[in-house]
Chain A
Amino acid sequence: MRRGQTFERLMQTVFFLCACVAVASVILICIFLFSGGAPALKEIGVLRFLTGRRWEPGRETFGVLTMIAGSFAVTLGAVLLGVPVGILTAVYLSFFCPPKLRRVLRPAVDLLAGIPSVVYGFFGLTVLVPAVRRLFGGSGYSVLAVSAVLAIMILPTVVSVSESSLSAVGDGYYEGARALGAGHERSVFRVMLPAARSGISAAVTLGLGRAIGESMAVVMVAGNQAIFPKSLLVGTRTLTSNIVLEMGYAADLHADALIATGVVLFVIVMLNNLIFALLRRRRMKK
Chain B
Amino acid sequence: MKRLTHVRLRPSRLPVCCLLLCGCLLCSSCRERPFSPEREIHVFTREDGSGTRTAFEELFGLLETDPDGKRASMTQPEAVVARSNGVVLSGVSADPAAIGYLSVGSLNHTVRALPIDGEMPTEEAIRSGRYPAARPFSLVTCGALSAPAADFLRFVFSREGQNTVSSAGYVPVCDGEHFVSSGVSGKVVLVGSSSVSPVMEKLREAYFLLNTAVNIEIQTSDSSSGIRSVAGDDCDFGMASRSLNAGERAQGLEEHSIALDGIAVVVHPENTAAGLTSGQVRDIYLGKAVFWHDAGVVQ
Contact = CB atoms under 8 A, between A and B. Distances in A.
B71 interface: yes
Contact of A130 (B1, B5, B32): B32
Interface string B102-140: 000000000000000000000000000000000000000
B7 A96 contact: yes
B10 interface: yes
A8 interface: no
A174 B4 contact: yes
Interface residues of B, number: 42
B5 A99 contact: yes
Task: Output the residue of A59, A220, A227, A234 with the most chain B CB within 10 A.
Answer: A59
Interface string B29-53: 0111100000010100001111000
A157 B14 CA distance: 31
A247 B139 CA distance: 24
Interface string A137-169: 111110000000000000000000000000000
Contact of A246 (B49, B63, B79, B91): B49
Given A58-B48, A175-B3, A134 B78 contact: no
B164 interface: no
Contact of B5 (A95, A225, A237): A95
A225 B81 CA distance: 6
Given A59-B66, A246-B48, A135 B30 contact: yes
B30 A224 contact: no
Contacts of B261: none
A20 interface: no
A18 B49 CA distance: 41
A139 B91 CA distance: 9
Contact of A98 (B6, B40, B90): B6
A56 B72 contact: yes
Interface in B154-191: none
A234 B76 CA distance: 14
Contacts of B70: 58-60
A248 B84 CA distance: 11
A130 B81 CA distance: 17
B81 A245 contact: yes
B80 interface: yes
A251 interface: yes
A226 B6 CA distance: 49
Nearest to A131: B30
Given A225-B77, A225-B81, 13 more contacts: A58-B71, A97-B6, A99-B6, A125-B90, A130-B94, A134-B32, A134-B33, A138-B40, A139-B97, A139-B98, A178-B4, A184-B7, A223-B81
Q: Which 7 A-B pairs have the closest CB atoms?
A: A249-B49, A224-B81, A139-B42, A59-B72, A134-B30, A58-B72, A223-B80
Interface of B: 1, 3-7, 9-10, 30-33, 40, 42, 47-50, 63, 66, 70-73, 77-83, 87, 90-91, 94-95, 97-98, 194, 222, 224-225
27 contacts: A58-B48, A58-B71, A58-B73, A59-B72, A95-B4, A96-B7, A98-B6, A99-B5, A130-B94, A131-B30, A137-B40, A139-B97, A139-B98, A223-B80, A224-B47, A224-B81, A224-B83, A225-B77, A225-B78, A234-B78, A244-B83, A245-B47, A246-B47, A248-B49, A248-B222, A250-B49, A251-B224
